[in-house]
């Protein structure tokens, strides 16, 4: 299905890699010739991914916020691509957001992303072959939205991290970029999009007038993973139908 890019001989690690965008990108990278390490907490989901994609996928049942995961990552001999995809969201009014929700979202969306990128960069620096780090952001990393204050805060942090790493790691041949999608049809968004009022609000905010598709995010990730984007670093690739252009 995804055959445009050639990643033959490359090793990619995808956090949150067992479902949705992560699984779709794992499929695309395997089709492009890469070996993929898919990381997620649910072993059943990982097993189903491996059954579907075959031996080119190695599965790690790990918590991306745990030291065991980072130690395992840093034992790799090389790593060419990191798709830093794991994330979470819990939309609710700012005034009612519990402290534990704030802590959990910062832990997954910011802390884990920072530390995973740090461990991946250590491997890339040691191997001396450069690499591409792709951070999963969101259109909410560029704008604000009611009931999404914590999510917006964490995704703005992701954009700042991407810019800073892009500058710091550029001399070593390591590129760091983000992908910032609008609402995409995935298993995680199905319950939200079944709410007709919410879906209409989202459509009204998207000048192109439709919800995004998985393949459109996959194409952005694959572009950043490939040599075709060799002059891009510290950038955010928005796949948002014009939401942030208003």
Is 2 catalytic? The answer is no
Catalytic residue of the set 2, 4, 155, 238: 155
3-state secondary structure of 132: strand
Tokens of 185: 């049809």
Q: Are 107 and 152 in contact (CB under 8 A)?
A: no
Q: CA nearest 84: which of 11, 23, 133?
A: 133
Tell me how far apart the alpha carbons of residues 239 and 128 are, in angstroms, rounded to a whole number: 31
Residue 37 φ/ψ, nearest 5 degrees: -105, 115
Tokens of 142: 């560029």
Interstrand relation of 35-40 and 11-15 (parallel, antiparallel or unpaired): parallel
Secondary structure tally for the chain: helices H, strands E: 9, 7
Is 155 catalytic? The answer is yes
Catalytic residue of the set 4, 151, 196, 238: 151
CA distances from 171 to 124, 132, 166, 181, 228 (A): 13, 13, 9, 28, 19
User: Could you tell me which residues are beta bridge partners of residue 177?
Assistant: 134
Q: CA nearest 109: which of 71, 137, 72?
A: 137
Tokens of 14: 């995808």
Tell me how far apart the alpha carbons of residues 69 and 111 are, in angstroms, rounded to a whole number: 14
Could you list the active site residues? Answer: 151, 155
């Amino acid at each position: 299905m995804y055959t445009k890019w050639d990643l033959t001989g490359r090793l990619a690690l995808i956090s949150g890699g067992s479902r949705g965008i992560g699984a779709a990108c794992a499929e695309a990278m395997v089709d492009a010739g890469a070996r993929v390490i898919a990381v997620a907490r649910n072993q059943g989901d990982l097993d189903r991914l491996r059954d579907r994609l075959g031996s080119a996928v190695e599965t790690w049942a790990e918590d991306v916020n745990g030291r065991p995961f980072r130690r395992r990552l840093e034992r790799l001999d090389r790593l060419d691509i990191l798709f830093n995809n794991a994330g979470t969201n819990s939309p609710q009014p700012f005034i009612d957001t519990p402290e534990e929700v704030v802590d959990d979202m910062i832990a997954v969306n910011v802390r884990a992303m920072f530390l995973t990128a740090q461990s991946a960069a250590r491997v890339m620096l040691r191997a001396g072959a450069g690499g591409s780090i792709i951070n999963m952001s969101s259109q909410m990393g560029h704008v604000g939205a009611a009931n999404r204050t914590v999510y917006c805060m964490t995704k703005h942090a992701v954009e700042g991290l991407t810019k800073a790493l892009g500058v710091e790691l550029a001399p070593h041949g390591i590129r760091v970029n983000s992908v910032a999608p609008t609402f995409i049809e995935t298993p995680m968004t199905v319950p939200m999009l079944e709410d007709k009022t919410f879906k209409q609000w989202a459509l009204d905010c998207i000048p192109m007038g439709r919800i995004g598709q998985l393949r459109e995010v996959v194409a952005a990730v694959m572009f950043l993973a490939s040599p075709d984007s060799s002059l891009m670093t510290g950038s955010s690739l928005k796949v948002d139908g014009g939401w942030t252009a208003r």
